[in-house]
Structure 1
Amino acid sequence: MEANIVSYVIRRFGFALVTLWVLSLLVFAGSHILPGNVGRAMLGPFADQRAVDALNHEMGADRPLVRQYVDWMAGFVTGDLGKSSAYRMPVAQFLTGALANSAKLAFMGFLMVVPLSILGGVIAAVYRRSAIDKAISIIGISATVVPEFISAILMILVFGIWLQWFPISAVWPAGSGVGTQLYHLFLPSIPLVLVLFGYIARMTRASMIEALDSDYTRTAILKGLSYPLVIWRHCLRNALAPTISVIASQTVYLIGGLVVIELIFRYQGIGSLIYFAAKKKDFPMLQAGVMSVGAIFAVVTLIADLMFAALNPRIRLEGRS
């Protein structure tokens, strides 16, 4: 049993490393395919070409691509993310703050959408083919297909301008406490909840229906256990296993797919940082931002796989990859 668990963890960890390596190749190749010159971007369009060439030589931008890739990856692994070509400051100073801000917004959305979606999926499964089931399914599907920028604008118009319940900006005053920060992040979190609710609720519903129709559920009911206890102790545990994979993939979206939300609500997170880095052709910032999101994806996916195996021991015992 322990050997199977160790083997499963090693395989998943190896897959995560391979994923990051492939991503690093794509990011590095993409940043060099994009038009632009690092030295020219830093010195401006009117700088002398000799000064541009000297700066490129100083930064190593004129070295062979293989050497640049090796040095870049070595720096990323050791925490040296280089210097921003747009701001001429270490990338780590910008990246740390942006990741922290996005983590706060993602945590707020995660805290709202996961319990709500699981509860909605369980209720829809228990009352399948009823009006409640249809209402939850229709709401989830309708909310999923609405783009974030439309729902965000509607939230601002209704709750920020007309009702004036929440601020229209996610930026809180300096020195604000946790309560004030959550208050400013509540409105930007609503579009995220609307987009993700349908995915998680539908997966939970499908898994719960399968669990409710299983033999072990009927056996537990025949033994005299109450229906709520059967749902909580037997069905939900097995139904959560496939739901975790969906939650993990959507958690990555909460971290890295917030460009629209962050721009609309003027929030300085990793999404807006990557957007402005690409706009300014700040390749060191762009590479560090995308690789950080990829590292988060790999870690979250690895954790999800381990949780999936813990909830469903057959996965690791069967040796699935």
Structure 2
Amino acid sequence: MHPVVKLVAQRLVLGLLLLLAASVLIFAGTMILPGDVAQSILGQSATPESLANLREELGLNDPPVQRYFDWLFGALQGDLGTALTNGRDIAESLGQRLSNTLFLAFWAAVISVPLAIFLGLIAVRYKDRWPDKLISAVTLASISIPEFLIGYLLMFFIAVQLGWAPSVAMIGDHMSLGQKLQAIALPVIVLTLVVLAHMMRMTRAAILNVMQSAYIETAELKGLSSFQVIYRHAFPNAIAPIVNVVMLNLAYLVVGVVVVEVVFVYPGMGQYLVDHVSKRDVPVVQACGLIFAAVYIGLNMIADIVSILANPRLRHPK
């Protein structure tokens, strides 16, 4: 078997095993939560007979192992169960929510990824000079401030004081693309500021590491400009760690938007999860956790595979 095929197959198998382990942790974590699901649904005035009937209907009396495999096999077939609070199909409810979260993450990535790479190249070009120090200071300051605080500050100054964007990021199918982009402007800015620093600094560090190689000195001796050396020779050979950090931040944009969605009341997966956690709707929490885990593991697996294909030393380990 070709080394590349073997390494990719290993990553795929490890990704599936990790997702299986994550499903066990998600199910076990929701099962050990304090409180009674039936009691939270029926309220404090429920009779013992009604509680017993509801537990039987929900399958809460079955052994935990049987309930886990029933839930797992249903999820593999696309059946994520039914929400306890409203009786709606979870997969159907999650469809639009997931689409909204991906829409928000997509536009944040479209801005943050090229900007991070460009700023990283500029920081390398002007290493230890004022552009490098300014970029590093601004990005470090942005990543040091919690995203909810950045959100509230932008909401106050841009939405309330200046009126340039809405403070609540509500979107719907009736809105045009321009209206949707205006609605999500503030959450996109917050997400961009949060993930920009990590990607920029990794780009800078990876390129500076490559700049110490002998072929970079050869390129400089040929008379190429500093930016040509960085862009044409150093950057392509530093792509593997950059891809890894980009994928990690893309995973954060999908999985870690819970706080941002709650701050701006955005109708995405994070807001949906928080709403049902407060209602102790266990099937919804399990479904959201499984989807978040699948997205995070999937993007990390893609990053590993891209690193294998981009690095000759990984393609030919011997």
TM class by smaller structure: over 0.9
Aligned match of 1:255: 254
What does residue 271 of structure 1 align with?
270
**Is 1:144 aligned to residue 148 of structure 2?**
no
**How far off is 1:59 after superposition?**
2.2
CA contact (8 A) 2:125 2:227 kept: no
Q: Tell me by how many angstroms 1:245 deviates.
A: 1.2
8 Å CA contact 2:4–2:309 kept in 1: the answer is: no
* One-letter identity of the residue aligned with 1:117: A
Structure 1 residue aligned with 2:289: 290
Partner of 2:245: 246
Q: Note the alpha carbon deviations across 1:199-253, whole angstroms, 9 max, x for none.
A: 1111111111112221122222334445433322221112221021111111111
**1:165-244 mapped onto 2 (5 Å cutoff):** 165-172=164-171, 174-244=173-243
- Once residues 130 and 141 of structure 1 are traced to their aligned partners in structure 2, the CA distance between those partners, rounded to angstroms, is 17
Q: Matched residues in 1 for 2:292 and 2:315: separation?
A: 27
Report the Cα distance in structure 2 between the residues aligned to 1:46 and 1:91, rounded to whole angstroms: 27
Tell me, yes or no, if the aligned pair for 1:83 and 1:89 is still in contact at 8 Å: yes
1:126·1:209 contact (CA, 8 Å) conserved in 2? no
What is the CA deviation profile of residues 56-95 of structure 1, one whole-angstrom value per residue up to 9, with x for unaligned ones? 2122111001100111110111111001111211111221
Q: Tell me the equivalent position of 2:32.
A: 33
Contact 1:108 1:185 in 2 (8 A): no
Mark the runs of 5 or more structure 2 residues left unpaired by the alignment. none
Q: Is 1:303 aligned to 2:289, yes or no? A: no
| Most deviating of 64-73 and 84-93 | 84-93
Give 1:99 shift.
1.0
Look up the SS of the partner of 1:53 in the other structure.
Answer: helix
Written as runs of structure 1 = structure 2, the 5 A alignment for 1:98-177 is 98-172=97-171, 174-177=173-176
- How far apart, CA to CA, are the structure 1 residues paired with 2:172 and 2:205? 44
Q: Distance in 1 between matches of 2:64 and 2:232?
A: 56
Q: Which moved more, 1:202-211 or 1:229-238?
A: 229-238
Q: 1:109-138 CA distances to partner (integer Å, 9 max, x unpaired)?
A: 111111111111111111111011111111
Partner Cα separation in structure 2 for residue 38 and residue 171 of structure 1: 31
Aligned residue type for 2:39: R
TM-score normalised over the length of structure 1: 0.94
What amino acid maps onto 1:150 in structure 2?
A: L
Given that 1:217 and 1:235 are in contact with CA atoms closer than 8 Å, whether structure 2 keeps it comes out as yes
State the number of aligned residues: 318
* Contact 1:82 1:90 (C-alpha < 8 Å) held by counterparts: yes
Distance 2:81 2:189 in 1: 36
Q: What residue number does 1:313 align with?
A: 312
Deviation at 1:198, TM superposition (A): 1.1
Once the two structures are TM-superposed, the CA of residue 255 in structure 1 deviates from its matched residue by 1.0
**Separation of aligned partners in 1, 2:173 and 2:315:** 48
Cα deviation 1:285-306 (Å, max 9, x = unaligned): 0000011000001111111111
- Per the normalisation by structure 2, the TM-score is 0.95
Paired-residue identity, %: 35
User: Separation in 1 of the partners of 2:122 and 2:49?
Assistant: 69
Whether contact under 8 Å (1:237, 1:311) holds in the other structure is no
